[in-house]
Structure 1
Amino acid sequence: MSRVLGSAPAPLLRRILLQGKYEALTMLRNGEQLILAIVLPLLALVGLTVTPLLDGLGGSRVDVAVPGILALCAMSTAFTGQGISTGFDRRYGVLRFLSTTPLGRAGLIAGKILAVLAVLVLQVLVVGVVAFALGWQPTAAGWLPALVLLVLGAAAFTALGLLVAGTVRPEATLAITNLLWILLGALGGIVLPAERLPGPARDIVHFLPSGALGEALRDAFLAGTFNGGATLILLLWTAIAGAAAIRWFKWN
């Protein structure tokens, strides 16, 4: 009998790694997303360090600012960047095409999550270098809980980004994600602690993923403590947004 020669698909893990690499490079090569992921967080870090907005919050300006900036990085990449990218991939039929390849839908989503984590690592490195140059002195015991919280925050924001990208038109995704980035960045407790926000915002930010992540990272880096309440909020947002995305995501 003659053998039928054919090329078998690569192992699933390799497919996911290659997709994650492609997604990460695409995000970093996009000028708008690079500004959101790196430039604006760095500008916010310098601005908060040279102004008195964070004075009197239990640490130096840069010590209080950096956790919020890292949380902003997670939101920029996982929510705004991934949401916009996925929305336009859906518009141009990329999602529908890739979902029918050996990569599959699960592999495609896994690749997107991997890309978010890869870009987030780069963001932490860049922000960390600049922050140390500005005099950042984080509590050593806070690094482990902070890294866990960053991953959890990225998961929550990725789920939210995919929910938006999979349920509304790409143009609406662009508007919604950018608008929420501005609102949550300014009034969502992610950069400015709740103590610095006006009354109505101060009462609700603890229940937002932005406020929970910002508060938990400040507790980790300033005091070396693990904020269980904020972690529970992030887990709930991840579960609810993830379930909603699975239920209502439209691939075309």
Structure 2
Amino acid sequence: MTHPEHTPASLPATASKRTFPPAGRSGRARRARVEPMVVRPLRDGRYAVETDGEDGGYVVDLDGVSCTCPDHRRRGARCKHLRRVALEVTERLVPPPEERTAVCAVCGGRTFVPLAFRGPALCAHHDHDLGALVADRETGDRLVVVGAAGDRADRAETDDGRLVADYPSNAAYGAHEPVFRVVYLDSLRRDAPVRQYAFPASRLRPLRSGEGGGDADPSPAADGTAPPTTA
């Protein structure tokens, strides 16, 4: 019986071998790019590498800079398998040793998270760092993220007992999305209590460097509804 630590953690058994352009390389560096290989992350942070014409493939330890192939074991060379794993990690095709593959809770796309991570996984398009400036896609108002992704929009309640997903202004966003807590940027400049709000992850758009926007006002919207507040 195969130990789970030595089994692939992400790629299906039918994954096809890929190649990369030679990019002017020679020797092992070239072979690492042009030879068809499959790199499979293992549950112990190592990688199984399969290539054409090699029986059973080899196991690469990227942190330990080792490979079970004869080229590395006998010659101590930085073999083509080590180089290929490093290349695929750099290209974000496989997770680095301290991370694992996960599915974005918003779009279902592939992302990488720390091995011990247990919260909702989000891809780079839908994750927001604490303190990040973002914009409300509905109004263009500028906001500051003050709380990490939490409950789903159809489970997170606001101060008035309503679910975030039940607000009409959130109808275009998935009820399954985790919510972020934010404050209006303009409210931080006022001598008044700062109120927090909760938005589905994809309703928040990261602000580009130097991007402007209208002054935000944490007052109810024109239709008489206010953005949902956190519990």
Normalization by structure 2: what TM-score?
0.20
Normalization by structure 1: what TM-score?
0.19
Q: Which has the higher strand share?
A: 2
